Amino acid sequence: MKERLQKILARSGAGSRRTAEQYISEGRVSINGKVVTDMGIKVDPADHEICLNGKPIHCSEEKIYILLNKPTGYVTTLSDPQGRPIVTSLLAGAGISQRVFPVGRLDLDTEGALLLTNDGELAQHILHPSFEITKTYAAKVTGRPSVDAIGRLAQGIELEGRRTSPAKLKVIRETARFTVIEITIHEGRKRQVRKMFAAIGHPVLELKRIAYGRLKLGSLPSGKFKIIGKKDIEKILAGN
């Protein structure tokens, strides 16, 4: 059965559908030896050889889902021209044969829950803003934000010309020098949580993602991971 090329690539574990479209536009995908850049092309993978970066893709690969506690200092890309360590290197020696990719990103200086998978369709579902999949963070910020300032974040504030969606916030710990706040959002703008707190005058000192939807990171040690199953995926998709 013919399907859009980007959908086939996503299902093969090449990345999300958006990533697959980028690969096509960059001329990294070929069909029967011919490079294609047409986003609208449909093809039957049973009748054609589809290659990414010169290597055939395989659509029947068993799906795998991994929850990693990303340490700071690691980049959430599959390669890095600056030579910084990548998150998939933390899976080395674990006997995982599938090629997995991170679902979304965590900044170099942010730690915590990171989902890795070869399921492009699930990744697209989690990342697409229309599905409003929530992510919860523990943010250690400077000083003690006022009730009014926290309320502004909860209602949504202007960031770079766009208003953020409402967020859930809960103060976990307060000292004279810093406050730890749990914040839940469903958007995925670049460095959004850090920018939100900076906008109210309380920059982030430390940031950790502690949950996807209702799937919590729990006591998983930094740098370690676990294979998760269907029930865990349902917790992610159930929201918060």
Catalytic residues: 107
Rounded Cα distance between 240 and 229, Å, is 19
Q: Among candidates 94, 97, 15, which has minimal Cα distance to 61? A: 97
Antiparallel, parallel or unpaired: β 111-117 and 204-212: parallel
Instruction: Give the tokens for residue 213.
Output: 């939807």
CB-based contacts of 78, cutoff 8 Å, min separation 6: 86, 88, 101
